Amino acid sequence: MKLEQLPMNQASRCGAQTRSGKKCQSPPVRGKRRCRMHGGAAGSGAPIGNTNALRHGHYTAEAIARRRQLSELIRTARTTLAQIEERR
Ligand SMILES: [Zn+2]
């Protein structure tokens, strides 16, 4: 049995680069990807609604949702049109 296959070694790890140059082996904070020492701690990271890094907003959740809705509308319109064409 390979060591990587052991359940103990399959748990996700922080993976941040440590001062020794190796990957951090600490388990990530619940619901986050990094451990408590590498940005996973409560209160770390940008506050909700922060727009410091916003450039054009093309990839904001709202913009993505809008595009998805629009393509869904186009898709249903196309299928409806195809059905109307079939009936003729
Ligand atoms: Zn870490």
Q: What confidence tens digit (pLDDT) does each residue in 26-78 have? A: 999 998 899 999 999 988 888 888 889 899 999 988 999 999 999 999 999 99
Indicate the DSSP class of residue 26. Answer: S
Q: Ligand 1 centroid vs 71 CA: distance in angstroms?
A: 40
59/66 Cα distance (integer angstroms): 11
Type of residue at 21 = G
83/40 Cα distance (integer angstroms): 52
Q: Ligand 1 centroid vs 25 CA: distance in angstroms?
A: 7
Please calculate the CA angle 27-30-32 and round it to the nearest 5 degrees.
85
Q: Ligand 1 centroid vs 49 CA: distance in angstroms?
A: 26
Confidence of residue 9 (pLDDT cuts 50, 70, 90): confident
Q: Ligand 1 centroid vs 27 CA: distance in angstroms?
A: 7
